[in-house]
Structure 1
Amino acid sequence: MSGEPAVERAKRLKYDPYLQVKKRIEMLESEGHPTDKIELRVVGGTWSFYPQKYQAWFVKRCFDACNNGHAMSFKTSHVQNEKARYRIVGLSVETRPDFITPSEIKRLRKLGVTMVELGVQSIYDDILKKNLRGHGVKETISATKLLKDAGFKVLYQMMPNLYGSSSARDLKMFKTLFTDSRFQPDLLKIYPCALLKSAPLFHVWRKGGYRPYAEKQLISLVRAIKKTVPYYVRIQRIARDIPSKSIAAGPAKISNLRQLVGGHCKCIRCREVKGNYDPKEKLYLFRQNYQASSGQEIFLSFENKNRSKLYSLLRFRITSQNTAIIREIHTYGQLQPIAQDQDVGGFASNISPQHKGLGKKLIAEAEKISRREFKVKKIAVISGVGARRYYRKLEYKLEKTYMVKNLG
């Protein structure tokens, strides 16, 4: 909505995807950030609702911007990006659970999407109905399974303080996310309900039918929620960048909610090594198995002994059809440029764990587990277009939209 930083940047550039990407890269470079590995996030409501031709044009123009050119076809823009200066290693979109179907999954993969943010909001049908969401819990359950079986990372946007809910019920909802195998998102955004003056809920509030949480109540709730989050989940954000002048009342006006909540939890974001890297610190390989959407999820990570520092992670899935797919691999620490003309593992750095072969070791472990424990003959990776060359060096080959390796 108007006022949010990304929206204001887009408005200034007349929503031109090519210019938005180019200007964002220029801004990051001017601030001294490496820009050769790009995780591109497309925001703006229900992506799947837009006309398909517009979606293809929009994404192609994003690739063109990273390729510094104007490709004749969508496929060519992907091929060019594999060797481009600015490589798109991840691409995410937002959509509603009821828009996710097998055909939509195929289209998203053709675009190069690797992560989907689902506007789940609640896992209670009565709350969804009361807030006019237009979908139910069964659509969330179905979408989650379809996406995970296809290898996508799945992010849930959840909304405490919805009309008809309570703080006790909200806390129970978040606990259920990680105890009920039908849900189990990989990432989480906690967006407290914002009482906008332009929304129908505003009129309900004025008549006394809705009451936003008090500031202390919301902070206490989010602290309790953070305690429920397991090691394999990342809390991406707490609160949205909605201008406070657009919010009529309630704690959604708080712009620094994460800071007020404070404290560290077990989530990935709280444990990422960031700049706190010690090359002499001993690393340990951790493994966690859990059931999710009728499949087996396996989370591998390199961490320090007490798990307070997370260096690298890999999550992969054994589906109900006994196929193996790597859904995410990420090494944290200070961002290092792509090691040009180097073998996998790249150059050594004393300031970051990146390019030290941690990802390669996790991939080898995932391959070994798939082959020995599940007797799988092939393993696939939902690779970002710009990361395909990395997997080719590990003997993976492009099959349709996935990188695939025979395990023998």
Structure 2
Amino acid sequence: MKKHIVIPIFVPHKGCPFDCIFCNQKIISGQIHESSEEEIRSTIESHLETSGDAYVEIGFYGGSFTGISLSEQEWYLKIGYSYIKDGKVKQIRLSTRPDYINPTILDLLERYGVKTIELGVQSLDYDVLKCTNRGHGIEEVLNAAMMIKDRGFSLGIQTMIGLPGDTRAKAVATAKKVVELSPNIVRIYPTLVIKNTFLQKLYYDGRYQPLTIEEAVDISAELLDIYEKHRINVIRIGLQPTDNISESGEIVAGPFHPAFRQLVESRLALTRMRQYIIDYGLDKLSDIVIECNPKLVSNIIGQKRMNIHTLKNEFNFKNIRIMEKLNVEKFLIMAT
């Protein structure tokens, strides 16, 4: 399988007039000034130098791309499209708000080689959207998703957990509603308290309590399970660590972990193994063998062998042996 590369171009936050309480795109994206065409081309070409025969996309991130003027959108798109015409890049992707999608905008995006549109949905619960000052409702999300799919674009949905007003039940309900939208890709982000946001003020005032790592991992694992069962590709879980996004950077509070996705995948593996043991009556055994695909070994074992320790404690197993098997898709558990 070919390597897949997305070259990120960060567009200043001016495309979004709203101030969602959790948002500080300058910190999240690390982008403060508006890049010149020369700087954008330099970024693209430096990535292309090491891309080899990879499938390469250009991604416009960092704000609400379709919220900037049509002329500015076209300025960025023309730069990206020139690399598509030269055969160096396959397509363009971008992220935006649901209320900044309409037929005119989609015409423009289609003309310049955009194939994937990711919507920052965050939640499909009315109260959560209101509490976070999103500036749009659920109907805008449904309409935007339908327009994007009807026009043949790939649809991405970005959601957050642990926002003000959110609960585990609301997060699960949102995931189930997202499934109904039939997205091609999904991202799950636990809410972090970032410096210079209104959420920081709420946190310092004692009016907001972020999720713990344990809570965020457990909820994210349940959401990942929902999406995987519907064959929806979850391309990211948790913010990518950067100089700014780190425990010593601009994060005030919240469930940040540099390997957050691995924690979530390990938790889901534990949940599935636990259920497998119960369903197949293996809980009375003293020794078991877990056969698994080599790619899943670290998730099966868990960080610091936590999954193995948990299964031993819960079911009183004396020995658990791990065997790597290429012909096993995920895992099988049996007696020794």
Which consecutive aligned stretches of 4+ in structure 1 deviate over 3 angstroms post-superposition?
A: 1-4, 6-15, 263-266, 273-276, 304-308
Unaligned runs of 5+ in 2: 1-24, 270-292, 297-325, 331-336
Aligned-partner SS, 1:205: helix
> 1:49 and 1:149 mapped to 2: Cα distance?
21
Aligned-partner SS, 2:186: strand
Q: Does 1:62 align with 2:69?
A: no
Q: Which residue of 2 aligns with 1:92?
A: 93
> 2:156 and 2:34 mapped to 1: Cα distance?
26
Distance 1:124 1:231, change over 3 A: closer
RMSD over equivalenced CA pairs, Å: 3.1
Aligned-partner SS, 1:16: helix
> 1:140 and 1:186 mapped to 2: Cα distance?
15
Q: How does 1:149-188 map to 2 (within 5 A)?
A: 149-178=150-179, 181=180, 183-188=181-186
Distance 1:306 1:106, change over 3 A: farther
Q: How does 1:215-230 map to 2 (within 5 A)?
A: 215-229=213-227, 230=229
AA aligned opposite 2:254: G
Q: Which residue of 1 aligns with 2:60?
A: 42
Distance 1:249 1:59, change over 3 A: same
Q: Is the 8 A contact 2:221 2:267 kept in 1?
A: no
Q: How does 1:27-38 map to 2 (within 5 A)?
A: 29=50, 33-35=51-53, 37-38=55-56
Q: Which residue of 1 aligns with 2:109?
A: 108
Q: Does 1:52 align with 2:87?
A: no
Deviation at 1:114, TM superposition (A): 0.5
Q: Which residue of 1 aligns with 2:40?
A: 17
Q: Which has the higher helix share?
A: 2
Q: Which residue of 2 aligns with 1:237?
A: 236
Aligned-partner SS, 1:204: helix
> 2:52 and 2:295 mapped to 1: Cα distance?
15
> 1:16 and 1:159 mapped to 2: Cα distance?
32
> 1:56 and 1:103 mapped to 2: Cα distance?
12
AA aligned opposite 1:50: I
Q: Which residue of 1 aligns with 2:275?
A: none
Q: Which residue of 2 aligns with 1:255?
A: 258
Deviation at 1:51, TM superposition (A): 2.2
Aligned-partner SS, 1:114: strand
TM-score between the two structures when normalised by the length of structure 1:
0.55
Q: Is the 8 A contact 2:74 2:108 kept in 1?
A: no
Q: How does 1:250-329 map to 2 (within 5 A)?
A: 250-251=254-255, 253-263=256-266
Q: Does 1:208 align with 2:182?
A: no
> 1:200 and 1:9 mapped to 2: Cα distance?
19
Q: For 1:2-28, what per-residue CA distance to the aligned partner results, in whole angstroms no more than 9, with x for missing partners?
A: 566x746998989832111011222xx
Deviation at 1:175, TM superposition (A): 2.8
Q: Does 1:246 align with 2:244?
A: no
Identity of aligned pairs, percent? 25
Aligned-partner SS, 1:123: coil
> 1:39 and 1:265 mapped to 2: Cα distance?
30
Distance 1:177 1:274, change over 3 A: farther
TM-score between the two structures when normalised by the length of structure 2:
0.66
> 1:9 and 1:138 mapped to 2: Cα distance?
32
Q: For 1:49-79, what per-residue CA distance to the aligned partner results, in whole angstroms no more than 9, with x for missing partners?
A: 1222222222222344x3xxxxxxxxxxx6x
Distance 1:36 1:191, change over 3 A: closer
Q: Is the 8 A contact 1:25 1:35 kept in 2?
A: no
> 1:125 and 1:15 mapped to 2: Cα distance?
43
Aligned length: 249
Unaligned runs of 5+ in 1: 67-77, 267-272, 277-303, 309-408
> 2:295 and 2:238 mapped to 1: Cα distance?
25
Q: Which residue of 2 aligns with 1:355?
A: none
Aligned-partner SS, 2:190: coil
Q: Which residue of 1 aligns with 2:127?
A: 126
Q: Is the 8 A contact 1:204 1:210 kept in 2?
A: yes
Q: Which residue of 2 aligns with 1:383?
A: none
Q: Which residue of 1 aligns with 2:290?
A: none
Distance 1:186 1:109, change over 3 A: same
Q: For 1:189-233, what per-residue CA distance to the aligned partner results, in whole angstroms no more than 9, with x for missing partners?
A: 001111112111111111211111111111111111111113431
> 1:205 and 1:198 mapped to 2: Cα distance?
12
AA aligned opposite 1:249: A
Q: For 1:124-181, what per-residue CA distance to the aligned partner results, in whole angstroms no more than 9, with x for missing partners?
A: 1111011100000000000011000000111111010011111232123213322xx3
Q: Is the 8 A contact 1:188 1:236 kept in 2?
A: yes
> 1:124 and 1:15 mapped to 2: Cα distance?
42
